[in-house]
Structure 1
Amino acid sequence: MFFHRSLLLEVRTFAVVPLLVLALSSPWGRGRRAELFVMWSSDDPSLRTQIAALSPTVSPDEARRVAYTTYMTGRELHREWRVAWLPGIQNFLVNMGARKGGLCFQWATELLVRLDALKLQTLELHWAESGANTGAEHNVIVVTARGQAFGEGILLDLWRYSGSLVWAHVGMDPDYRWTENKSELARRLGGTRDVASKQVRSTTKSN
C-alpha cells in the first residue's frame, strides 16, 4: 500500500512541477518563492546563470562546466542503468538485483565524483541529506561559491526525475529539508580517490 501511494504521489508531482517551471521563468528575479526547476537541454542557460550569480567570485566557466557535467551525468547514467520512469520503480528494481544502479545515493555519488574531477577553484561541493537514517532518506549534491554557507547553495538532484536534472535553492525545495553532512562528503570522495590511486599504481607496476 505504501509503495502504491508513493507511485501516485510521484505521478502527481511530475504533473505539477513542469507547470511551476513555466510559471516561474526566473528563480529569484521576481520576488516569488522559487521551487523546482528542470534543465531540459545541455545548452539551457538558467542553471549556469544562477550558479554564477552565487557570488562575484564564481568563475562563469566553472558554473557552465558544473551545469553541463551534471546534465550529461544524468543522461549517461539513465542509459547505463536502464532507468525506469518513476524513481520508486527503479529503487525496487535495484533492490531486486534487476538494475545496476539508480538509488538516490548512487546518483549523488556518481555526480560528486565527476564534479570533483573538474578541480573547481571558485565553487565548492557539499553532500546533502534529508531524512537521514530513515527509509525516506534522500541525498543530493549542493554547489556553493567557495567558502559560502551550505544554505546559500543550489541543489543538484538527478534521482527525483529519473536522470533529468532537477535543481533549486537549498531552502526552496518543496519536498525536502536539507542538511549538510561533511563527513559523508569526505568519506565518499576518499573512497573514490583511493580506488583511483590504486588503479594508477597497478597500471604503473604493469608497465
Structure 2
Amino acid sequence: MTILPALARLCLLVTALGLAGCAAPREGPPPPGTAAEIDELRLGLLALGPDVDPEEAARAARLTYETTHRLALEYQIVDPPLVHNAKVNAGLKPRGLCWHWSVDLGARLEQENFETLEVHYAIANAFNPFRIEHSTAILSSRGDSMYDGIVVDPWRKGGVLFWSPIAEDVRYDWQPRMEVFARKRAVQDRREELTARESF
C-alpha cells in the first residue's frame, strides 16, 4: 500500500466523520419496516396497474422491507449514508455503498420470479461533476418501462427504505443502468483512442 491512497482514505474518513457531527445520532441499526409501511408499499405496487397480481404486490412489499433490514444488519449500518460510504471506502465496513444496496436488493427480488412485476436498475448523476453518483433498484409492472415504476432505495436514509414513484422522485434524474454503462464505455474508448493517437 502506498502512502497516497492510504492518506486519501484517511482524509475521506475524517471528512465523513466531521459531517457526522451534523447528523442526528442513531442508537444501533435502522429499525425494520412496520406493518403499516409494508402495506403502503403494497398499495403503491398495486397502483402500478391492473395487471399487478395482489399476492405478488404483497410479497414484493414484504420482501423489500425485510431485505432492506437484513442488509442493514449485514452492512453494519449505524451511520448516515455518506459517513458509512467513507467507512466502506476506508475498509472499515464490508458493504453499503448505494450500488451494493441496488444490486443486493434487486437480486433478492429477482429470485422471486415475479410474473406481474419487473426489477430494473438505474443510476443518477453519472455525468454530473457536482453531484455524487447514485444507484437504485426500481419495481414496475411487468413489461412497463422503469419510468413507470417505483424507486426502492434503502441507501438514501441509511438503511431505512425510501420508496416513491419515479416520476415523483425529483431529487434524482434516473437513467437505465445499462445505458449509463454503455455511455461510460464509449467515453473510456474515446479517451483510449485519443491517448493512442497522442503516443504516435
Distance 1:100 1:172, change over 3 A: same
| Amino acid of the structure 2 residue aligned with 1:158 | P
- Match of 2:100, SS state, is helix
Which residue number in structure 1 is paired with residue 110 of structure 2?
116
How far apart in 1 are the matches of 2:169 and 2:84? 22
Which residue number in structure 1 is paired with residue 28 of structure 2?
none
2:37 maps to 1:41: no
* Off by >6 Å, runs of 4+ in structure 1: none
2:171 maps to 1:175: yes
Structure 2: tracts of 5 or more residues without a match: 1-10, 25-31, 182-200
Which residue number in structure 1 is paired with residue 195 of structure 2?
none
How far apart in 2 are the matches of 1:57 and 1:89? 41
Task: Describe how 1:93-172 pairs up with structure 2 within 5 A.
Answer: 93-132=87-126, 136-172=132-168
Contact kept, 8 Å, 1:47 with 1:67, in 2: the verdict is yes
How far apart in 1 are the matches of 2:134 and 2:74? 21
Contact kept, 8 Å, 2:126 with 2:180, in 1: the verdict is no
Structure 1: tracts of 5 or more residues without a match: 13-38, 186-207
How far apart in 2 are the matches of 1:114 and 1:184? 23
- Match of 2:45, SS state, is helix
**Displacement of 1:43:** 4.8
Distance 1:41 1:184, change over 3 A: farther
**Displacement of 1:182:** 3.9
How far apart in 2 are the matches of 1:158 and 1:48? 16
How far apart in 1 are the matches of 2:108 and 2:81? 22
Greater C-alpha Rg: 2
Note the aligned Cα RMSD (angstroms).
3.0
| Amino acid of the structure 2 residue aligned with 1:55 | G
| Amino acid of the structure 2 residue aligned with 1:140 | T
TM-score of the two chains, using structure 1 as the length reference: 0.68
How far apart in 2 are the matches of 1:128 and 1:161? 18
Contact kept, 8 Å, 1:85 with 1:161, in 2: the verdict is no
% same residue = 32
